[in-house]
């Protein structure tokens, strides 16, 4: 890793935070007070309704506790007293056993989603992803998973469209880009901390919390006595930025220009010259110094293209049309790069696409690297003018070899593969005109594990009502299930009972959670329609 000094320097001024409605994600009873208590006092005084969602039962975790149930009840009562002092009037609890939140990230995500839909916050406070304990890290991971699910969840997507996120610090300082002066709130904050008597007898939390707030004043002018530090995010950032860059100021290592290996990008095209121009422009925008674009025209009209691009350009014209797999292989055969990537003619990459992928490949010595991809939905508003009406982020799964045998969860335009590995696994299967990419990925996974970079660096584009010969949704194409069955049959030997059981369990668990979330939302909508007053009253009282 390398450091960007301008992003690491603490601010030299304080700012005021405003919000209409606030949700605090707190791993334990007391984190809301220790981490962001001063700001909560300010927001409550300004009239913002605040809900605190406690994740664990706070029964002690690894601590030596005689009666965990009574200990948890005591801490819960303490949280209510502290909430009264802070001005918090709404609480939610997931009740997960203390110390094992990391094993229940999916449950946390479901709880966070429900809290967001019910409370409709425009500000969410969450522990930094660089805290020192696993429970605190799991809180951030749960929020991240919840927001990633907004890609396929219209209600959650709309609820978080304009949501801001502030990371707070409890047991590990973060690198802040926001300082809030809480000097005037210290007396009330001390009262709230004092409510947690069970904790103060075990740990010097008062001194630590106030000491951290005092330390945070060192970049400010004299007169500011206590400051809370935060790092800002948008909900969008949690699914478009890698976790190592969130909350720290770290930026990925990018090799010096002269040290970057050649990358060959295989671009398949068929009779879509306007889209092709946009795809090539996105490749040129990366500024990658040794980029070779291999354009494979698969049986379409010969496109007329401007040669004014910074990359090396190779053309392959196939007549008659050879099909997706053969076109991809023709591109690979013509490529000369150390690494190979793929981009269909209607898709786009971001400016840092190759820096991110190549940097990860070199840093981790990974022969296969993939990032995440967005899905942009475009509508024709007037002749020749397509407008993006939706953006979703459905791709963000870490590498799982067993699951890949059942589900093609890696978009091909997010992948970078070492050329020598491609040669070793053999060519694309030209007998497949759907799922040829999935088949290749499975064969690659037999040789090596893949490195996943949790960052969106490309966009798969869907043009409503248009002809998308290469990039259309496979489910809409004839022979979809037959082609899927052929891939499954081809790799049946690898689907051992253990692998099949594990992969189907993952998919089943995710399907159950998704169904429960949809049912919960549907029930809430029906209740609102039947009795708006009853619905609002129940929510204000914190009841389901």
* Nearest residue to 156 (alpha-carbon basis) of 394, 494, 329: 394
Rounded CA-CA distance 428/183 in Å is 65
How far apart are alpha carbons 142 and 55 in whole angstroms? Answer: 10
Residue (of 279, 257, 261) closest to 270 by Cα position? 279
- In the predicted structure, residue 218 carries a pLDDT above the cut 70: yes
> Per the structure block, which two tokens stand in for 537?
């009253």
Beta strands across the sheet bearing 22-26? 90-96, 50-56, 22-26, 123-127, 164-168, 227-234, 178-181
Higher pLDDT, 531 or 247: 531
Check residue 514 and give its pLDDT: 58
Closest listed residue to residue 55, CA positions, set 133, 130, 121: 133
CB atoms within 10 A of CB 152: 13
Q: Are 200 and 193 in contact (CB under 8 A)?
A: yes
Taking Cα atoms as reference points, which of 403, 389, 361 lies closest to residue 498?
Answer: 403
Q: Render pLDDT for 135-146 as a digit per residue (tens, 0 to 9).
A: 998 999 899 888
Tokens of 90: 């709404």
CB-count burial class (<10 Å; 0-12, 13-18, 19+) for 268: buried
State the pLDDT confidence band at 129, using cuts at 50, 70 and 90. confident
Contact 477, 434 (CB under 8 A): yes
Burial of 442 (0-12, 13-18, 19+ CB in 10 A): buried
| Predicted confidence (pLDDT) at residue 472 exceeds the cutoff of 60 | no
* CA pair distance 511, 469, nearest whole angstrom: 30
DSSP 8-state symbol, 261: P
Contact assessment for residue 300 and residue 271, using Cβ atoms and an 8 Å cutoff: yes
Q: What is the pLDDT at residue 358?
A: 93
- Take residue 384 and report the two structure tokens written for it: 């020749």
Least confident of 100-104, 209-213, 365-369: 100-104
Burial annotation 43-65 (CB, 10 A radius, 16+ → b, else e): bbeeebbbbbbbbbbbbbbeeeb
Amino acid 393: pLDDT: 74
Taking the C-alpha atoms of residue 374 and residue 470, their distance in angstroms, rounded to an integer, is 17
Question: Considering the chain, what percentage of its residues have pLDDT values greater than 90?
Answer: 52
pLDDT 10s digits, 228-243 = 999 998 887 776 555 5
**pLDDT at residue 470 in the model:** 45
The two three-digit tokens of residue 131, written as one number? 């805290």
Mean of per-residue pLDDT scores for the chain: 85
Q: Residue 462: phi, psi to the nearest 5?
A: -115, 120
Give me the pLDDT at residue 250, please: 40
Tokens of 396: 């963000």
Q: Give tens-digit pLDDT for 447-461.
A: 999 998 878 889 988
Predicted confidence (pLDDT) per residue in 34-46, tens digit? 999 999 999 999 9
Beta bridge partners of 255: none
CB-based contacts of 106: which residues, under 8 Å, 6+ apart?
145, 509, 510, 513
Between CA 460 and CA 467, with CA 465 as vertex, the angle to 5 degrees is: 70
Nearest to 165 by CA among 129, 212, 210, 218: 129
CA 293 to chain centre: 29
Backbone angles phi, psi at 267, to 5 degrees: -110, 110
Residue ranges of the alpha helices (H) in 120-236? 134-148, 154-159, 186-194, 197-200, 205-215
Phi then psi for residue 228, to 5 deg, are -100, 140
The pTM score is 0.58
How far apart are alpha carbons 475 and 479 in whole angstroms? Answer: 9
In angstroms, rounded to a whole number, what is the distance separating the alpha carbons of residues 513 and 505? 12
* Structure confidence by residue, pLDDT tens digits, 350-393: 888 999 899 889 988 999 999 988 888 888 888 878 888 877 77
Tell me the backbone φ, ψ of residue 58, rounded to 5 degrees. Answer: 55, 40
Other C-beta atoms within 10 Å of 400: how many?
18
- Burial classification of residue 368, based on how many CB atoms lie within 10 Å of its CB (0-12 exposed, 13-18 middle, 19 or more buried): buried
- The structure tokens 């799982």 sit at 400
Contact, 96 vs 132, CB < 8 A? no
Q: Within 13 A of 408's CA, how many CA atoms are on the CB side?
A: 23
Distances in Å between the Cα of 340 and the Cα atoms of 169, 267, 293, 415 are: 41, 11, 10, 8
Calpha distance 57→71 (Å, rounded):
10
Specify the residue for token string 């409503």. Answer: 464
């Amino acid at each position: 890793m390398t450091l960007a000094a301008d992003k690491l320097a603490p601010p030299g001024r304080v700012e005021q935070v405003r919000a209409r409605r606030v949700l605090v994600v707190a791993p334990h009873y007391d984190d809301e007070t220790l981490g962001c208590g001063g700001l909560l006092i300010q927001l409550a005084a300004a009239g913002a309704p605040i809900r605190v969602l406690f994740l664990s039962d706070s029964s002690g975790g690894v601590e030596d506790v005689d009666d965990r149930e009574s200990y948890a009840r005591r801490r819960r009562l303490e949280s209510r007293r502290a909430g009264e002092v802070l001005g918090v009037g709404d609480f939610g609890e997931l009740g997960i056993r203390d110390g094992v939140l990391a094993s229940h990230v999916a449950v946390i995500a479901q709880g966070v989603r429900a809290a967001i839909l019910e409370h409709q916050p425009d500000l969410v406070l969450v522990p930094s992803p660089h805290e020192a304990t696993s429970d605190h890290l799991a809180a951030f991971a749960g929020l991240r998973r919840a927001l990633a699910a907004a890609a396929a969840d219209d209600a959650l997507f709309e609820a978080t469209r304009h949501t801001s996120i502030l990371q707070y610090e409890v047991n590990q300082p973060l690198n802040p880009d926001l300082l809030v002066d809480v000097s005037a709130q210290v007396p009330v904050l001390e009262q709230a901390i004092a409510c947690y008597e069970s904790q103060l007898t075990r740990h010097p939390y008062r001194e630590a919390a106030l000491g951290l707030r005092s330390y945070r004043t060192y970049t400010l002018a004299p007169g500011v006595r206590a400051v809370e530090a935060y790092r800002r995010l948008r909900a969008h950032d949690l699914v478009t930025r890698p976790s190592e860059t969130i909350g720290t100021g770290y930026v990925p290592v990018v090799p010096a220009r002269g040290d970057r290996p050649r990358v060959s990008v295989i671009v398949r095209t068929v009779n879509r010259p306007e889209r092709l121009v946009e795809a090539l422009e996105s490749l040129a925008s990366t500024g990658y110094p040794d980029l070779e674009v291999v354009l494979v025209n698969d049986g379409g009209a010969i496109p007329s293209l401007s040669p004014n691009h910074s990359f090396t350009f190779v053309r392959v014209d196939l007549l008659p049309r050879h099909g997706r797999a053969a076109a991809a292989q023709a591109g690979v055969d013509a490529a000369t790069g150390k690494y190979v990537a793929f981009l269909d003619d209607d898709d786009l990459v971001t400016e840092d696409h190759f820096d991110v992928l190549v940097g990860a490949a070199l840093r981790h010595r990974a022969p296969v690297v993939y990032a995440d991809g967005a899905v942009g939905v475009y509508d024709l508003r007037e002749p020749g003018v397509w407008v993006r009406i939706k953006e979703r982020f459905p791709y963000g799964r870490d590498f799982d070899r067993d699951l890949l045998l059942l589900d093609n969860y890696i978009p091909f335009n997010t992948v970078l593969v070492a050329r020598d590995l491609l040669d070793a696994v053999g060519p694309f299967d030209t007998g497949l005109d759907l799922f040829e990419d999935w088949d290749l990925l499975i064969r690659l996974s037999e040789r090596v594990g893949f490195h996943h970079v949790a960052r969106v660096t490309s966009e798969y584009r869907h043009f409503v009502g248009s002809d998308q010969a290469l990039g259309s949704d496979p489910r809409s194409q004839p022979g979809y299930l037959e082609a899927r069955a052929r891939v499954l049959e081809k790799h049946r030997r690898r689907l051992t009972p253990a692998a099949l059981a594990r992969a189907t369990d993952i998919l089943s668990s995710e399907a159950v959670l998704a169904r429960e979330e949809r049912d919960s939302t549907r029930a809430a909508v029906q209740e609102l329609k039947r009795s708006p007053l009853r619905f609002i009253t129940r929510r204000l009282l914190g009841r389901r």
